[in-house]
Amino acid sequence: MADSTRGHVDEEALDEVVRFTSDLIRIDTTNRGGGDCQERPAAEYAAEQLAGAGLEPALLERTKGRTNVVARIEGTDPSADALLVHGHLDVVPAQAEDWSVHPFSGEIRDGVVWGRGAVDMKNMDAMILAVVRAWARFGVRPRRDLVIAFTADEEASAEDGSGFLADEHAGLFEGCTEGISESGAFTFHDGSGRQIYPIAAGERGTGWLKLTARGRAGHGSKVNRSNAVTRLAAAIARIGAHEWPVRLTPTVRAALTELAALYKIEPDLDDPDGVDGLLGKLGPAAALVEPTVRNSANPTMLDAGYKVNVIPGEAVAYVDGRYLPGGEDEFRTTLDRLTGPDVDWEFHHREAALQSPVESATFARMRAAVEEFAPEGHVVPFCMSGGTDAKQFSRLGITGYGFSPLKLPEGYDYGALFHGVDERVPVEALHFGVHVLDRFLRTA
C-alpha cells in the first residue's frame, strides 16, 4: 500500500508507468507534417487505460485516424476551477540507422526506456495514465475537476489536435482556467553540483514566415538589376545578421532574479548590457533563459530557380521566427525593415506568445510538489523558447504551464534528447514523475 504521507502511488503504478511508456513508444505515431500520421492506435491504447480507471473517454477526430482523447475526473470541490492535464501522442521522425536501438522498440535496458517519444512526450502520457489508475485503486479524487486530454498533431500545426479540440469541442473544457503539459520540472545539472528544476510559465510566440522576392526573369548571361534571387538573398542575410535587443518579460525577469540569487550575483536587469553580463556569469544555467531574452528569426529554407542559365522571376525563403509575449509588434516592424521594399513576407504559421503568472497558487503547488521529492533541488520559473499545445488551449482562456516532472542523473541533456538521436528516459525518472504528479494533482 502507498504511504498516505507520500501520496497514492503504489508498486503497480510504478510498474505501469514504465510499461505504458514502452508500449506507447512501440506504437509508431511519426508526424512528418504531411498529414499521414495515424495517432488512433495510441489514442485507443490511452482510452483503454482510462476506461480501466472507471472514466468515460471520448475519441474525437477532425481527420480520419488523427485521434484525440478527452476525459474528465470530477473533483471534490465543485466551486473550484478545473485543471487541464494534456499530452500529445505524435512524435517527430527518427532514422533507425542513426540510433543505438530501434527508435520504436520501446526497449528497457539497464534501467532506461529507449525510443522516440521517451521524453517528448509519451513519458508524460504514461505518467498521467499511471496516476489516474492509481487513484482509481485507492478511491482518490482530486480537489479540482481534471480534464485529461491526449492530442494529435502537436508536432506539426495542431490543426487535427488541440486546435480542433479548442475550436470544435470547447464544451469539454468547461471550467478549465489552467493547464499543465510538457517541458518543465526536469533536472538541470549546472556542472557544479546544483540541481535546478525549471517550471515553464510562458512560451515565445511562433512566427514561421514565407518571404517572396519578385524580379525580372531573364537569361543568366545578361545583366539583371531586378534579380529575385539577389533580392531574396540580401534580405535573408540581413535577417540572419540582425541583433535583436534584450526585452525582459515578467517570467524571464523572475527567472533571472531567482538564478542570480542562487549564484549570489547582484543583477542589473534594467540594463541590456547587465543582462548579457549576468548570462555570462551563470555558466551552463544561462541556457535556461538565454533563448528567451530576445525575439529571434532564423532563415531555414530557400527555394528559387529551375535551371542554372535562367534567372527566375520569383524566389522564396522560409524563416523560423519567435517573439516574446508583448513582442509581436516589434517583430513585425523589424521584419518590414529587414526585408525591404523588394521582398514581401507573410506568416506561414502563427501562434500567440504566452505568459503565465509565477506568483500564482498553482505555481506554488508545483514548486512544493517538486521540492517534496527533490529537496536538494532549486525550482525556478522559465519561458520556453518554442511552443506547445498550450497555445491552442489558450484560445479557451486556459493559462498554461510546462510541468512534466523528471529526476534525471547528471549527463542526461534533457534539451538535446528532444527530437534527438537515442532519446531515452531512466525508469527512476518516470517513478519520480509519477510521485510528483500525484502530489501536485491531488493538491492543485
**Residue positions counted in the chain:** 444
375: cell is 529537496
- ∠ CA 105-405-176, nearest 5°, is 105
150: cell is 491526449
Cell numbers 489514442 correspond to 43
* Catalytic position from the list 16, 39, 90, 423: 90
Count each helix (H run) and each strand (E run) in the chain, helices first: 12, 19
Q: Are 180 and 405 in contact (CB under 8 A)?
A: no
Q: Is 61 one of the catalytic residues?
A: no
- ∠ CA 227-229-233, nearest 5°, is 120
DSSP states of 119-165 as a string? TTTHHHHHHHHHHHHHHHHHT---SS-EEEEEES-TTTT-TTTHHHH
Query: Nearest Cα to 148, choosing from 82, 77, 76, 65?
Result: 82
Cell numbers 514561421 correspond to 208
- 3-class DSSP state for residue 271? coil
Q: b/e string for 125-163 if b means 16 or more Cβ within 10 A?
A: bbbbbbbbbbbeeeebebebbbbbbbbbbbbbbbbbbbb
* Catalytic position from the list 120, 154, 182, 389: 154
Q: Is 153 one of the catalytic residues?
A: no
DSSP 187: -
204: cell is 515565445
202: cell is 510562458
**Which positions are catalytic?**
90, 154
